[in-house]
Structure 1
Amino acid sequence: MTHWVEVLLKIVDGPQRPVMGIARAVHADMGPRTVYDAHYGVVPSYVGFGLSEIRLFRFGRKTRMESLDGKPLFIADGQTCWVFQAGHDDPIETNELNTRIPDPGRDLIVSRPVEHWARPGLTRPTRPIEEVEFIGRRCWNVELKTGSKGSPMVLTIDTETGTVLKQECEEGSAEYVDCALSDELPDSTFTWTGSIREPRNVFAEDRAREVERSKSNMQWFHDNVSAQRIQADVLVDFTPTEVRRDPEHPESFEAHFEKGAGRLWRRARSSEDWLLPVNWTGRNYPTPIRAWSTQTFDWACAIDLGPGSLTDATVAQLHHALHPSKDVVGTPPLNP
């Protein structure tokens, strides 16, 4: 019986001999799905299996991916990564932490860090390890638990070198079509000495293109639709969808309307500053508030439709709807 620790010792540092071959992936037809990703600072680079076969070289934590006609797609020397993008001859020079490699096929392209296998409760075999044959080589088949709710992942691992030859997971499968061992791969296979693009410059270039595209689209609209300010009356339903009250101030309330796009406040009339949340929409700029007072109460209203959306005529209609027999006698002191 093969024990998990025996397999781990083979795969933890990547293939123990240089391996090269043709690999391909079959992506599962999962329909539309949302992929969440987050980063801080430099935008990450993305690498993965496309729809075509690729040539894949592995040795330890080193990787080289290239198209069948020899164009490099991804190179890693164990520390530095070079990511090639369509339309650019020079790769982005980065590192593995800033490189996103989705499934299927991640375990064929790079070796996971040691910390991945050390996490308690994860990446453990869910059934006994099997001995099988794949593309003419003796292998282990290992079914792993990948998360508390995730579907199992099956790795087919070459027993001689520790190379992951096939991966099956929820996102699809990736596998070597054929592979060969070699002791003659030069170090240059896993390095790049040509010109590079730095990630921060790539981000600046992408941002500049985005700004230019936005300006171009706005100019097109001005030239072909209208260059004048476009304003029209909009009907807003001020009927509350949620009302919040404070037991210590039974006559006061905060009401939400238009699914949270607007708010209406009331308190007992006071000469003290009224602290209202001017950034309640979650935006980075304040939402204008219109406020007024009757003899009994202070009132305030805001809606996230931009400055000037609450016109004098609209506020007058609110006066009539909220306190038809009470005149407006002043304005409460607001302190944002």
Structure 2
Amino acid sequence: MDLHTLLAPGGRSKLRRSNHTRTNVGGWPVVLQTLLNGQAEEPMMVGTLVVNRPDHPWPSEVRVSKSQEKYRVESMAGELLTVHTPDRTVVFRPDQELPDQFDHGPWGVVGTHSGAIERRDPYDWTLDDFTVPTKPPVQVQFLGLPAWEIELAPPHSKPAPLVMIVDATHGMTYAERSLRYGDLYSWTNIQVVEAMSDELFEYSGPTHSH
């Protein structure tokens, strides 16, 4: 199924009725459009991100500087972990002397905490892996910002729905929670900034290229 079908009346984004008085303001098609097209409206920001992954080799709590597709991840002590641009990702791994460098297209998802920072590939929304809402979106506040709470049905291979909190204006995902496993990740602090140096997203040292 393509994105036009998803967004069309009667398509897969059609929602079942709900008795919640706070739900369905705008509805799922509006939220999906924001997820797909809102990045141009996303402000520059710095913040703190917590990822709950026991198998994750990097620190669970990190500082992130983000300018739309570009981002920089550091430990809370200031150690550089990832620098990402649309064309390149540099990843510092705990067991390697030199960082890895990955050259890729705009939808390359590589590196520490990337799944909690980068937007999903638009093609993902045509599949069945947490793409179909179980009920209408709910308007909420997250860190004082207007947002949507969305519950997405799991594919047959996974045990429970996924809850996403996304910004109401530009669609950045602020948190994800599994109804089986609990919190997966969450931004715990966000500060919008007026300017950000391009040098934050550059790295000129030696790397292992892939």
TM beyond 0.5: yes
Q: What SS does the corresponding residue of 1:168 show, helix, strand or coil?
A: strand
Which amino acid counterpart does residue 145 of structure 2 have in structure 1?
R
Shift of 1:82: 0.9
Q: What SS does the corresponding residue of 2:52 show, helix, strand or coil?
A: strand
1:125 aligns to 2:133 (yes or no) = yes
1:25 aligns to 2:51 (yes or no) = yes
Q: Partner residue of 2:18?
A: none
1:161 aligns to 2:185 (yes or no) = no
2:137–2:150 CA contact under 8 A, matched in 1: yes
Which amino acid counterpart does residue 202 of structure 2 have in structure 1?
T
Runs of at least 5 residues in structure 2 that lack an aligned partner in the other structure = 1-24
2:175–2:187 CA contact under 8 A, matched in 1: yes
Higher relative contact order (CA 8 A, sep 6+): 2
Shift of 1:97: 4.4
Structure 2: distance between partners of 1:161 and 1:98 = 20
Structure 1: distance between partners of 2:71 and 2:166 = 17
Structure 2: distance between partners of 1:22 and 1:54 = 6
Q: Partner residue of 1:217?
A: none
Q: Partner residue of 2:32?
A: 8
Which amino acid counterpart does residue 47 of structure 2 have in structure 1?
G
Question: Which of 143, 152, 157 is the matching residue for 2:161?
Answer: 152
Shift of 1:128: 0.9
Structure 2: distance between partners of 1:166 and 1:80 = 25
1:196 aligns to 2:207 (yes or no) = yes
Q: What SS does the corresponding residue of 1:131 show, helix, strand or coil?
A: strand
Q: What SS does the corresponding residue of 2:194 show, helix, strand or coil?
A: coil
2:59–2:75 CA contact under 8 A, matched in 1: no
Q: Partner residue of 1:186?
A: 197
Shift in alpha-carbon separation, 1:72–1:141, aligned structure 2, 3 A: same
1:162-193 CA deviation, whole Å, 9 max, x = no partner?
22111112554211111011231122222322
2:46–2:190 CA contact under 8 A, matched in 1: yes
Larger radius of gyration: 1
2:65–2:73 CA contact under 8 A, matched in 1: yes
Percent identity between the aligned chains? Answer: 20
Shift of 1:56: 1.6
1:106-136 CA deviation, whole Å, 9 max, x = no partner?
5422111111112368512111100111212
Q: What SS does the corresponding residue of 2:169 show, helix, strand or coil?
A: coil
Shift in alpha-carbon separation, 1:90–1:51, aligned structure 2, 3 A: closer
Which amino acid counterpart does residue 52 of structure 2 have in structure 1?
V
Shift of 1:50: 4.3
Q: Kindly tell me the number of residue pairs found equivalent between the two proteins.
A: 178
Give me the TM-score of the superposition, normalised by structure 2.
Answer: 0.71
Runs of at least 5 residues in structure 1 that lack an aligned partner in the other structure = 29-34, 36-47, 200-336
Structure 1: distance between partners of 2:165 and 2:109 = 27
Q: Partner residue of 1:63?
A: 71
Give me the TM-score of the superposition, normalised by structure 1.
Answer: 0.47
Shift of 1:64: 1.8
2:167–2:174 CA contact under 8 A, matched in 1: yes
Shift of 1:147: 1.7
Question: Which of 163, 180, 187 is the matching residue for 1:176?
Answer: 187
Shift in alpha-carbon separation, 1:49–1:138, aligned structure 2, 3 A: farther
**How do residues 24-173 of structure 1 correspond to structure 2 at under 5 angstroms?**
24-27=50-53, 50-88=58-96, 90-94=98-102, 95=104, 97=108, 99=110, 107-119=115-127, 123-150=131-158, 151-169=160-178, 170-171=180-181, 172-173=183-184
1:62–1:110 CA contact under 8 A, matched in 2: no
